[in-house]
Structure 1
């Protein structure tokens, strides 16, 4: 057993025996990615200190194990199980309220074999797409073994790193817009472009998976079986929906599931489809050998019977959430558990109003979108895609629906699920 580094999976104990083995092997030491605490103290200073720890680890990722005593003179660790009731919730509350912006973490309680009321808390802090984070106005990072204050220059460097990733995502979106099989002058409706790319994945990471027997069935199952728990009955079947996909095909460096308008034509418009049906049914989902995904959707906008221009914003939000679901499953299939770059672009929006108000425009005038397009870029860890996909969807789509005044109509896709009473 070895301690993790930036390019090696984190050591994550699953049991008290795992912790005992690590102690016996004498491999535990504070590092840039790992720390241990004997207990979680109470009070504002202690809460602030834990918040600083979480913020510091958020830059590169790391973990904290609570329930270990360290002999400072020898650097040796020993078991010191602590009461665990309510501790994970307290840590998550500190991450959400004392760290700015709020930080996504994962906490796991491990019971002691001697007393089930005692145990250990594993706190996993994935690299945050919004790092660096502040606590009481101070930015924190992680040195070799301890937290450090980030200088203005270091903060600027981290913001530039995030901006560089954003520019990379925008370049991917530009490439997808250029690949659109319908020329801009011929488009009657807005189009949705979605991209996802694994960051720091080895070249061709998905090649073995895409070559395996039965891959066509896997792609059909993942893309066509709707599993969004946030979807309401009224939203089922908003066109073009996943059932429009009907042909799994090979592409250059990819496999794709394609709707009729692009089927069997090398991602060109199918000449057998009537021109009036091409855009409303436009749907294309690609799984790349790089591990990335590309999605093209038509009918992002439409002209109503009253001559108004409508944005089908609920459909756009649904595809943002679908992308995250597909990314999570693809990453699991190809063995990638790192960070993803994600992007959304929608065009032909200028002057459009939300279709959520299509039956209400006789009574008042909804907000008209003021720009020709909308674009958003973010990154997300595999842990966040699994544990809080609505937060990632919020970063991708909230700006659009807020501008249209329709956030309240779609917020069930962009906020945590409401607990059942």
Structure 2
């Protein structure tokens, strides 16, 4: 059952009569939500269990009758209580989406549909124990399965890094420098953004989304998508571009960047100039050219992509989590742009590896509350290696 589509009591009644309200691995029916700590704990277990694969809890339906009978419950404050349980009784917190359906016979009564999206941070705990979902009931996860799931999370990160690396090498090979960022909606429908690709006004929509995700910091470096005005179709998606002239995509001139909206929902941002050559022509005594890592561009692109992922989620009704990956090359013998900006004195450590890659994940709540944390997760190790982290710590620190 797609909880998003259930909006009225009549629809619920039809689902019940047609045999479509049956408890499964992805659906749990509750006649009511009792009061007190025990009921709160039981619901927290349900939410933690469903977060492993995603699912729906429907409150106000009696599962013990055949077919399940509608049992409207008092709805005042119920959705808020459920959301508080998801945030405060589950470790770590799970983002849910609730829909209240009022009864036609009494507007104070009704039903609550609780959609629990698949979580990239699963498994989740309640009172120190991890939970998952069986065929129709919750189950406590044994230690071996918890370890396997945590290992899978690390493998998923590695897989997304490999995807970012493959996209980078497909675009420019290994000899040309390029930054590639990937944002992947976990468990989203494969056709999540088909409607965007099919729309006759996709250019306007893409431009509005990107502009809504940019801030003043995105105007402080180039190339920046804050000023992008080019449009193109890409395999499996559409793109907003900047600095691509005469049909050339990435010419190696440090001018080009693009964001691709794929039909599956994946967002791919590629940019030149994350690593570049900097000259100090007006400095005396003369300074040699230096290869620098352009932190402002890297942090700016990541922060914008995180905000863009949130904007896409809200526009297309996706409440799940996102995975992010960064792959960039050409870093060998480079130093920090931030420290080189001082012109004199120590420019900090020389970076000795060619490739830098990192991956992380974030819930929609994370992206709404603190999109900068994605940039912190993806860049902090690099900035510490360059010695420039203190200059960026305030911008990257987690918001309280």
Give the aligned partner of residue 78 of structure 1.
Answer: 69
Among residues 31, 41, 48, which one is paired with 1:48 in the alignment?
41
Deviation, structure 1 residue 175 = 1.3
Task: Give the gaps of 5 or more residues in structure 2.
Answer: 284-289, 382-388
Q: Does 1:218 align with 2:202?
A: yes
Residue 269 (structure 1) aligned with residue 256 (structure 2): no
Q: Against the structure 1 CA distance between its residues 60 and 118, is the aligned structure 2 distance closer, same or farther, given a 3 Å change threshold?
A: same
Choose from 281, 305, 311 the match for 1:320: 305
CA distance in 1, matches of 2:6, 2:194: 31
Q: Does 1:61 align with 2:59?
A: no
**1:258 aligns to what?**
241
- The question of whether the paired residues in 1 share the 8 Å contact of 2:26 and 2:50 is answered with yes
Aligned 1:362-373 pairs, distance under 5 A: none
CA distance in 1, matches of 2:207, 2:162: 25
Task: Tell me, yes or no, if the aligned pair for 1:60 and 1:126 is still in contact at 8 Å.
Answer: yes
Q: Distance in 2 between matches of 1:222 and 1:106?
A: 25
Q: Given the superposition, is the C-alpha separation of residues 150 and 202 from structure 1 closer, same or farther in structure 2, using an over 3 Å criterion? A: closer
TM-align CA RMSD: 4.3
The residue number in structure 1 matching 2:179 is 192
Structure 1 residue 242: deviation in Å?
A: 2.3
Contact kept, 8 Å, 2:119 with 2:321, in 1: the verdict is: no
**C-alpha distance in 2 between matches for 1:126 and 1:263:** 42
1:177 CA drift (Å): 3.1
Q: Describe the superposition over 1:205-239 as per-residue Cα deviations: whole angstroms up to 9, x where unpaired.
A: 978975x584xx5235404664436x555655653
Does residue 240 of the first structure (1) align with residue 218 of the second (2)?
no
Tell me, yes or no, if structure 1 residue 114 matches structure 2 residue 105: yes
The equivalent residue for 1:152 is 143
* Superposed CA offset, 1:137-181 (max 9, x none): 111111111111111222233223323322221111111332454
Mapped to 2, the partners of 1:304 and 1:124 lie a distance apart of 54
Shift of the 220–29 alpha-carbon distance from structure 1 to 2, 3 Å rule, reads: closer
| Residue equivalent to 1:409 | 395
Residue 343 of structure 1 aligns with which residue?
325
Secondary structure of the residue aligned to 1:164 is helix
**Length-normalised TM-score, structure 1:** 0.71
SS at match of 1:156: helix
Cα displacement string for residues 70-106 of structure 1 (whole angstroms, at most 9, x for unaligned residues): 4x3x444322222222221221111112111111111
Tell whether the 8 Å contact from 1:293 to 1:327 is kept in structure 2 after alignment: no
Separation of aligned partners in 1, 2:73 and 2:349: 56
Give the conservation status (yes or no) of the 8 Å contact 2:370–2:399.
no
Going from structure 1 to structure 2, the CA distance change for 1:325 and 1:152 (only over 3 Å counts) comes to closer
Alignment of 1:130 onto 2:117: no
SS in 2 for 1:284: strand
Q: Confirm or deny: 8 A CA contact 1:220 1:257 kept in the other structure.
A: no
Alignment counterpart, residue 35 of structure 1, candidates 8, 28, 32: 28
User: For the residues of structure 2 that align with 1:369 and 1:125, how far apart are their CA atoms?
Assistant: 46
1:274 maps to what in 2? none
The 5-angstrom pairing of residues 351-366 of structure 1 reads none
Where 2:212 maps in the other structure, the secondary structure is: coil
Distance 2:7 2:15 in 1: 12
Distance 1:368 1:94 in 2: 47
Match of 1:389 in 2: 367
